[in-house]
Amino acid sequence: MHLESISHYLGLDDYRLRQKNENFAVYYEPDKLINAHMLLCGMSGTGKSFQTLRMLESAAKTGVQVDVFDVHDELSNIKNASVCLYSQYTAYGYNPLVLETDAHTGGVNRQVDFIVNLIRKATPQFGAKQEAALRYLLIDTYYASGISQKDTNSWHRKKITEQQRQKIIEQRQWSQLREYYPTMDDLRSYAKRKITTLMMGGDNKSVTALDHLCRSKSRLHSCLTKASKSVTDDDIAKMQKMIEKNKNECIENYTNFVNAMQTGREIDDVLKYDSMDVLTSVIQRLDILNSAGIFSANEPDFGNSNVRVHQIKSLSSEQQILFVKLRLREIFEKYKRMGATKSGTEIRQIVFLDEAHKYFTDDNDDIVNIIAKEARKFGLGLWCASQQPTEFPESFLTNVGATVLLGIHASFWKRSANLLRISEESLKWIKPKEVMAIKLQKDGRADPPFVNIVVPNPNSAFGQRAASEYSQRS
């Protein structure tokens, strides 16, 4: 499908308007820049949300895909946008154990590395032992589901919802679970069995049998204590019969395990998890990070909308970083599989990050930095909004297609001037909601200057001319 090029009206050139009385319109046209990336900086009260909505509207109407990560719940008014609120109550999320299936760039090891590194960076207290335990847990959970790094065919599974998974478990159709990717609940369940093994000994079969016995007893206890009228004597008899069956299976499996021991090292594989405390701390950390359900397999239904607004205000800062980077990786891999665009400048997707500075690191392998460096040829543009331009790495600031300054606090002027190559005198001429400064990094121009732009504003004479010019051209 051919997409219309993004052409966003910014306003009128301030110099030509004031000095020559000329209406010279300035546009943001990413296909004419070195890339579609944008940095939008403005302190509170400078009209950042208003300008952001205008720019996102311009992108949306061209038909390109747009994903907005909104940390303040202020960007849901984009026309025809589909909105999802992520919280403990809504429990929407994405399963991080879904694999990229490309034989060269995907697979178990790649996903495990990504998840472990992401959690390590988001959790400074995550030590080497916890990191190793999480890595083993992930690999073993995949293996328990029949997915291994060596068998590329095993990487292809279906996605599952939490409701589907629960129904399969209730019906005890364990083999059906192998048709789907494992979930975080599968990871927790596997970790629980490992903790039990560390406490009581045994192998996977015996611990699984013990888990089934505990579940059956718990179900019976729940029915008896609730004294539910819907539970008949026959139901209780069936549950007791199931408990007896589970008990016999448990005894049989533990007996087989003990009788089959030959070298005395049969539980050495458990020792790779170091200790029960380490394993418990890993699960507790995952539970905290997933307390709002961001690792849930219940993906939101955005329908056919090309604009998806992810409202993440209810998430903690750690959860926001994890969630956004997991989504960014899937978006990037999607367009990477599609290959480079024919023109090299065509825009397929815009990703907007609010308070974007929090997602950047100095790690070259960080997904945000990878997108900043490599995404242009795949048609992916990264729009970043923040109050603090000095919090971004220099590698991004010097290679972004458009830099828009709506008003920076004076305490940031000196450093901003050095990083952005704009004079402090120029920063003084910026007037929130009236005049902004913009640098458009076009091909063939090594270091273009910032240009002051009068923005559409009905409350000032020049702003009215800028608004009138836009109305005439629309």
The whole-angstrom separation of Cα 317 and Cα 357 is 12
Average confidence (pLDDT) over 230-239: 79
Where residue 174 falls among pLDDT bands split at 50, 70, 90? confident
Q: What is the pLDDT of residues 285-343, one digit of tens each?
A: 899 888 889 999 999 999 999 999 999 999 999 999 999 999 999 999 999 999 999 87
User: Cα–Cα distance between 176 and 453 in angstroms, integer?
Assistant: 60
pLDDT higher at 197 or 23: 23
- The Cα–Cα gap between 70 and 335 comes to 22
pLDDT confidence bin for 198, thresholds 50/70/90: low
Q: Which residue would you say has higher pLDDT here, 243 or 264? A: 243
Averaged over 17-27, what is the pLDDT? 93
pLDDT single digits (tens) 378-398: 999 999 999 888 889 888 888
* Per-residue model confidence (pLDDT) at position 229: 59
The answer to whether the beta carbons of residues 439 and 402 sit under 8 Å apart is yes
- What integer is the mean pLDDT of 83-98? 94
CA 21 from centroid of its chain's CA atoms: 47
Q: Is the pLDDT of residue 263 over 60?
A: no
Copy the structure tokens of residue 240: 């007791």
266 burial class (0-12, 13-18, 19+ CB within 10 angstroms)?
A: middle
Q: Of the given ranges (11-25, 107-121, 190-204, 331-345), which has the lowest mean pLDDT?
A: 190-204
- Judged by average pLDDT, the poorest of 116-120, 122-126, 414-418 is 122-126
Opening angle at CA 412, ends 410 and 414, nearest 5: 95
Q: Which residues of 274-304 are buried (b: 16+ CB within 10 A; e: fewer)?
A: beeebbebbbebbeebbebbbbbbbebebee
Q: What is the mean pLDDT of residues 67-76?
A: 94
Residue 2 confidence (pLDDT) above 70: no
Kind plus residue range of the DSSP H or E element containing 311: strand 307-311
Cβ pair 323, 92 in contact under 8 A: no
Closest-CA residue to 463 (of 103, 28, 141, 18): 18
d(CA 428, CA 407) in angstroms, rounded, equals 9
Q: Cα–Cα distance between 390 and 403 in angstroms, integer? A: 13
pLDDT at 351 over 80: yes
Burial 131-161 (b: 16+ CB within 10 A, else e): bbbbbbbbbbbbebbebebeeeebbebeebe
pLDDT, position 168: 93
With a CB cutoff of 8 Å and minimum separation 6, the contacts of 151 are none
- Residue 410 clears pLDDT 70, i.e. is over it: yes
- To which residue do tokens 């061209």 refer? 62
**Going by C-beta distance under 8 Å and a sequence separation of 6 or more, which residues neighbour residue 194?**
137, 140, 207, 270, 273, 279
**What confidence score (pLDDT) does residue 17 get?**
94
Look at residue 1 and tell me whether its pLDDT is greater than 50. no
| Distances from the Cα of 177 to the Cα of 168, 276, 409, 448, 471, angstroms | 7, 27, 55, 57, 57
Average pLDDT (110-125) is: 89
Q: Which amino acid is at 252?
A: E
Structure-token pair, residue 133: 């335990």
Q: With a cut of 80, say whether residue 421 has pLDDT above it.
A: yes
3-state secondary structure of 386: strand
Question: What's the pLDDT at 61?
Answer: 92
- Percentage of the chain exceeding pLDDT 70: 91
Helix/strand/coil for 368: helix
pLDDT average, residue stretch 93-100 = 95
Nearest C-alpha neighbor of 30 from the set 357, 471, 421, 349: 349
Angle of helix 108-122 relative to helix 276-289, nearest 10 degrees? 80
Distance of alpha carbon 274 from alpha carbon 227, whole angstroms: 43
Helix, strand, or coil (residue 310): strand
Instruction: Measure the CA–CA gap between 445 and 145, rounded to whole angstroms.
Output: 54
Is 392 in a helix, a strand, or coil? Answer: coil
Query: Is the pLDDT confidence value at 266 over 50?
Result: no
Q: Among the listed ranges 80-94, 123-137, 323-337, which one has the minimum average pLDDT value?
A: 123-137
Q: Which residue has the higher pLDDT, 474 or 430?
A: 430
Q: What is the rounded average pLDDT of the residues 429-442?
A: 92
Q: Mean pLDDT over all residues of the chain?
A: 87
CATH code, 8-90+308-473: 3.40.50.300
**33: which strand partners?**
442
Q: Where in the chain is the domain with CATH 3.40.50.300?
A: 8-90+308-473
* Residue 437, helix vs strand vs coil: strand
User: How many alpha carbons fall within 13 Å on the CB side of residue 147?
Assistant: 28
